[in-house]
Structure 1
Amino acid sequence: MVQCLHAFVSGRVQGVWFRQSTLETAQTHGLTGWVRNLDDGRVEVMAHGHEHGLLQLEAWLSIGPELATVAEVKSARVEPAEEYIEFMII
């Protein structure tokens, strides 16, 4: 069963390859959706896929890439708003 994870990641998460690393992690776990920077310095993630892959991505978001310093991840399972065919940076 496909589920949807919506997450906001705060800390030092922009300008440190966070979006690209999120894309690669999501693709590794067979997820679709998107990641984007927000004007307030956070990163927003919407990921669709099976529970195992979403749990793997959620765990990775709390660590991030090497140059990142993640302060907080706020995430929730939500109803999918639309279907995605790939994971992308928007």
Structure 2
Amino acid sequence: MRIEVTRTGGFAGRTTRAELDTDARIDAPHVHALAREAVAGASRTPGYGVPDGYHYAIGVDGRTVYCADPNLTDSQRELISLVLNRGVERTA
């Protein structure tokens, strides 16, 4: 499974993008469950959060959903953190 996260917004307005491929991960079942929960709790259209808050686009195997701070579910927050911290950073 390939998971992509794009974070936009924030005070500086910087875009951060990272990608995580779960094929070789020993925790892949956990990550897959997180991804399913994160996608189920997100919107198919970009939404609005709070001023200077982060907005996220989460792509899982070609399907993209959107969420924003401070309204992230626990699974979205964990998945976003995992991908942005452990994934391969992509130029935006």
Normalised to the residue count of structure 2, the TM-score between the two structures is 0.33
Give 1 or 2: higher strand fraction. Answer: 1
| Structure of greater Rg | 2
Normalised to the residue count of structure 1, the TM-score between the two structures is 0.33
